Amino acid sequence: MLIIFLGILSQWIAWRLQLPAIVLMSISGLLAGPLLGIIHPAESFGDLFGPFISLAVAIILFEGSLNLNFKEIKGFNKPVWRIVTLGAFVAWIAGSLAAHYMAGLSWAVAFVIGGLFIVTGPTVILPMLRQSKLASRPAAILKWEGIVVDPFGALLALFAFQFVLFARGDETAAAFGLFFLASLFAALLGVAAGRLMGWMFEKGLVPEYLKSPMVFAVVLLVFTVSDMVMHETGLLAVTAMGMMMANMQISSINDMRHFKENISVLLISSIFVMLTASIPLDILISIFNWRIIAFVLTMLFIVRPLSVWLSTIGTDMTVQEKTLVGWIAPRGIVALTVSGYFASTLLNEGFQDAELLTALTFALVLATVVAHGFTIGWLSRKLGLASSAEPGIIIVGASKFAAMLATALQDMNKNVLIIDAAWARLQEARLKGIPTYAGEILSEHTEYEMDLRLYDTMLAATDIDAYNSLVVSNFVPELGRGKLYQTALQVGDPTVFHSSLSGRNLFGDEWNILELESKLEQGYTIRKTPLTAQYTYEDFKNRWIPDTIPLFVKRVQGHIEFFTSDNVVEPKPGDIVVSFSPIAYQQGRIQEKIESNRLKALSQSKE
């Protein structure tokens, strides 16, 4: 209970304070485990500790690989493949040299651990990307590297171990053949399982309520069968399975992805607390050994930048992108769990210096998680690879009213984008200089064409109620229901429909998009009213013309708050109320101005 609670609490505090979640999870695990001695997960779980961690890593890695659609890296796949191949090889060699000369490990042990330390992994990269506002290119490169290299790091360490035994005469050349056959089997098993699952889903052979649980069970099966054939090949199998399903254009892939993402957040939170809480106190103290510190600094400032800069020579990556990617390489759960396996295996084979591996791995994991977690946002902003602007607003559905509303939001210095499937309907918005996108918001193609992470609010304002609700439902996992709005229903009972299926009802239940368009044709215009201590919101309401429609309030702090049917907005002095006012108000203002000018002219003539 405490493990799960501390993990999720760390995630929540990180979200509230905009801090790296991985760092807080590590700190909470260290406090509850070796420092205060409240929990001892390795002892409590006993023989289930290792299997539970391994199966959880399999699920996390599969969930990450479900996001590896090749469309995402279209146009910059060259640097991605260079980093995960040539870059990984350079990191292996350079990391092995650092382990030997800096940490003082024997060549055999250094060769094995150098292969393992090429991993970064989704357990640490994905939470960092979730909290930072990286540009799409470096974010995609880091994500692909983390997920693809994770299984290959474990396999590379296994290959190095087999080579060490072969060089010592303990293994025959046949062992190498078995290693490659087992790796091939794992990849083929993963591809076949992913293909079979996708085919069954598309043929309707699995009901909707069983799709996610079945994938969950098959992932565990594929991982375990592969790992029984040869240790550490299971990670390759589940990665291959996820990549296969991600590129099959399965219609229900998003539902599975959201389910797996929720499971992964829970598992990452729990496992990081478990692992850090299980670090013995003497291991924690030993990481301050000068050799370990020298090794960690070498990995941070020499090995990682060298591998990225060398492998990306001749690619279109900019200096800024190389600098950022060459710095960000946090190690996580895979490094901790697999190093424990190799530490015990190497010790059994007589390599006594392998007892240093646990402290070495934990020092590298802790240092990279803290250093990269706290600097990824700052460095990306310094290099111009992050959006420093406030998250913007997407309006789905092009209309004259949508263009007018977008203009009012732009006047408030808000980033606005109007999306519509028809190019012609966007003409009004284009004439007003509003950013537009012609495409289907629900299409997977749009997800890869646009960086939707730059927007945190969405208004569904088409003239089709069901479509508006579908858009809202689709984006609930990404934006949250509190940031999703739609115009009122044209037919039906809005109180029933909106409470269960739709977003927050904009401007009241009676103002659907057709009514708003009609008001615009009648001469309604946008009115901005600054509130002061002398002219309060009560004064504004007492003076407004009947049928005035309050749209939103710009708070004095700068954020926007929309008027909705389920939220009582209370504007205060310093805020600006933006409303949709009838022509009578404009005529009254014109008449007031004419009368004011007449009185001024009369006064001047008397003088």
Average pLDDT over residues 37-53: 86
Checking 603-607 for CB contacts under 8 A at 24+ apart, the result is none
Q: Is residue 221 very low, low, confident or very high in pLDDT (cuts 50, 70, 90)?
A: very high
Supply the DSSP symbol for 578: E
Res 287 pLDDT > 50 = yes
- Topology given in CATH for the domain delimited by 2-382: Na+/H+ antiporter like fold (1.20.1530)
Least confident of 44-53, 207-216, 449-458, 493-502: 493-502
Q: Is residue 597 predicted with pLDDT exceeding 60?
A: no
Q: Domain spans of the chain?
A: 2-382, 393-595
pLDDT of res. 448: 56
Q: How far apart are CA 257 and CA 62, in angstroms?
A: 10
Backbone φ, ψ for residue 132 (5° rounding): -95, 160
Strand residue runs (E) in 304-452: 392-396, 416-420, 436-438
- Percent share of the chain, pLDDT over 70: 85
Same CATH fold, 393-595 and 2-382?
no
Quick one: pLDDT at residue 592?
46
Quick one: pLDDT at residue 122? 66
* Residue ranges with strand state E in 439-575: 455-460, 484-486, 504-505, 525-530, 549-554, 560-562
* Dist. CA 455–CA 107, nearest whole Å: 50
Residue 232: count of CB within 10 angstroms of its CB: 27
Which of the two residues, 3 and 449, has the higher pLDDT score? 3
> Is residue 331 a contact partner of residue 295, using CB atoms and an 8 Å limit?
no
Structure tokens at 523: 């001469």
Separation CA 497–CA 482 (nearest Å)? 16
Enter the CATH code of domain 393-595: 3.40.50.720
pLDDT (average), residues 33-55 = 86
Half-sphere exposure of 137 (CA within 13 A, CB side): 16
Burial class of residue 130 (count of CB atoms within 10 Å of its CB; 0-12, 13-18, 19+): middle
pLDDT of residue 416: 86
Chain mean pLDDT for the chain: 80
Please state the φ and ψ torsions of residue 544, each to the nearest 5 degrees. Answer: -75, 150
Q: How far, in Å, CA of 432 to CA of 44, rounded?
A: 65
Contacts of 364 (CB under 8 A, 6+ apart): 117, 295, 296, 299, 331, 335
Output the pTM of the full model. Answer: 0.67
Per-residue pLDDT reduced to its tens digit, 387-437: 655 678 888 888 888 888 888 888 888 888 888 888 888 888 888 888 888
Task: Please give the Cα distance from 185 to 28 (Å, whole number).
Answer: 40
Single-letter amino acid code for the residue at 450:
M
Q: How are beta strands 549-554 and 576-581 bridged, if at all?
A: antiparallel
CA atoms within 13 A on the CB side of 151: 31
pLDDT at 554 over 80: yes
Q: How confident is the model at residue 540 (pLDDT cuts 50, 70, 90)?
A: confident
The confidence score (pLDDT) of residue 595 equals 47
pLDDT for 445: 62
- Please compute, for residue 521, the number of CA atoms within 13 A of its CA located in the half-sphere on the CB side: 7
Higher pLDDT, 19 or 604: 19
Assigned token pair, 555: 């708070």
pLDDT of residue 222: 92
Mean pLDDT of 36-46: 87
Q: Sign of dihedral through CA atoms 332, 338, 339, 344? A: positive
Q: Cα dihedral sign for 74, 185, 215, 138?
A: negative
Average pLDDT estimate for 535-546? 73
Measured CA to CA, the distance from residue 513 to residue 509 in angstroms comes to 11
> Distance of CA 567 to CAs 465, 504, 561, 563, 571, Å?
21, 9, 10, 7, 12
| pLDDT tens sequence across 324-344 | 989 988 887 777 777 777 787
CA distances to 54, 226, 571 from 57, rounded to whole Å, are: 5, 14, 49
Q: Which of 417, 529, 202, 463 is nearest to 426 (CA)?
A: 417
Residue 449: the pLDDT is 61
Residue 306 confidence class, pLDDT cut points 50, 70, 90: very high
